[in-house]
Structure 1
Amino acid sequence: MKSIDAIDRKILRTLQRDGRLTNIELADRVSLSPTATAERVKRLHRDGFIEGYQAVLSPEKLGRHLLVFVQVKLDRTTPETFDAFARAVQRSDDVMECHMVAGGFDYLVKARVSGMDAYRAFLSDVILPLPGVRETHTYAVMEEVKSSSYLPV
C-alpha cells in the first residue's frame, strides 16, 4: 500500500467533512498552494484513497423512514450460491448495504423502506426469493444513535 503523509491525511479528513470544497478552499484549510493541493488530491484519487464523492440525502424527506437489518442464512454455502445471492441483492434499490459475515448466519443486509407495509413487501418480494435463502431474522431500528461513513485518518 502506498503511504500518505500528515498533509494527505489532513486533506482526507477535510474532504470527508465537506467534499464540496473548491480546491482553493481546501488549499487554504490545509495550508498549501492550490497547485500542490490539486496534485495531492489527484494522487489520492489515483492511488485509491478517495473513491468518489456523494451527497448525503435525508431518508425521512425521501419517504424512507424505516431502517431494517436482516440476518440471512442460506441453505447451501457454495460459491455458486454466494455468487447468485450477491448478484440478486445488488439489483434491489432498497438494499443499502449487504455484507457476508462469519458467525451464525451468512449475510447482514441493511435496507431502508417507507414503513412496515413496504418492509413486508421487501421481505416477501426481494429477500425471501433470493437464491438459497433458508432463514431470516429482522431487526427494525427504533432510533439511530450514530450513523457515519467517516473513517479515522
Structure 2
Amino acid sequence: MAYTLDAIDKKILEILQEDATIPNIELAEKVCLSPSPCSRRVKNLHEQGFIKRAVTLLEPQKVGLPVSVFIQVTLNHQVKKELQDFESVIAQWPEVMECYLMTGDFDYLLRVVVPNLQAYQEFLDKKLTELPGIDHIKSSFSLKQVRYRTELPLEQLLEQP
C-alpha cells in the first residue's frame, strides 16, 4: 500500500531539507506536534523512503574544489551492457558528483569537481578517456554558479489535492 504524505509530513520534509540537524523538540514545535509523534513521523518518512539520507553540504571553494565541469559523454553503442559498465565505473570516481543518463544528442551528462585545470586534464587522460566504448566527450566549464538547490519544491505538493 502506498504511503500518502499529509500536510504535517510535507512540512516536516520542508524543514528537514533546510536543516537536517534541527532538534526534534524544535521540529515538533514548528509542525505543532509533541516530540514523540514528531519523532515517529520522521522515522516513518525514513522507512518509507521519502528521506534518502541527511548530509552536510560543503562549500567547494573552501575545501579546494572550485572547478566544476559539465561533461557530455557519447558512447559508441547504447546497449544495456555498455551502459551498465560505464555507470558502474563512473559511480566509483569521487570527482563525479552527478551522472545522468540523457535523451538527445549525447548519452550521459556528468558534473565533475576538481581543484584546477591540471587535475581535470589528469581526470580526462587517466580515467575518462581510458574507458572502453566512448565515442565523444565534450566539456564545459562553469564560470559562476547562479543557483544551486538541494531542497525539492514541496510547496507544489501542498497545492495538489
- Note the alpha carbon deviations across 1:88-126, whole angstroms, 9 max, x for none: 101111000111000000000000000111111111112
Structure 1 segments unaligned to the other structure (5+ residues): none
Match of 1:110, SS state, is strand
Partner of 1:82: 83
Match of 2:145, SS state, is coil
- Note the alpha carbon deviations across 1:69-92, whole angstroms, 9 max, x for none: 000000111111001101110111
Q: 1:112 and 2:118 equivalent?
A: no
Length-normalised TM-score, structure 2: 0.92
Which 4+ stretches in 1 moved above 2 angstroms?
A: none
Q: What are the within-5 Å matches in structure 2 for residues 4-153 of structure 1?
A: 4-153=5-154
CA–CA distance in 1 between the matches of 2:30 and 2:131?
48
CA–CA distance in 1 between the matches of 2:132 and 2:60?
28
Letter of the aligned partner of 2:103 in structure 1?
A
Letter of the aligned partner of 2:147 in structure 1?
K
Length-normalised TM-score, structure 1: 0.97
Q: Is this contact kept in 2: 1:65–1:112, CA < 8 A?
A: yes
Structure 2 segments unaligned to the other structure (5+ residues): 155-161
**TM-fit CA distance, 1:130:** 2.0
Q: Is this contact kept in 2: 1:94–1:112, CA < 8 A?
A: yes
- Provide the identity percentage: 37
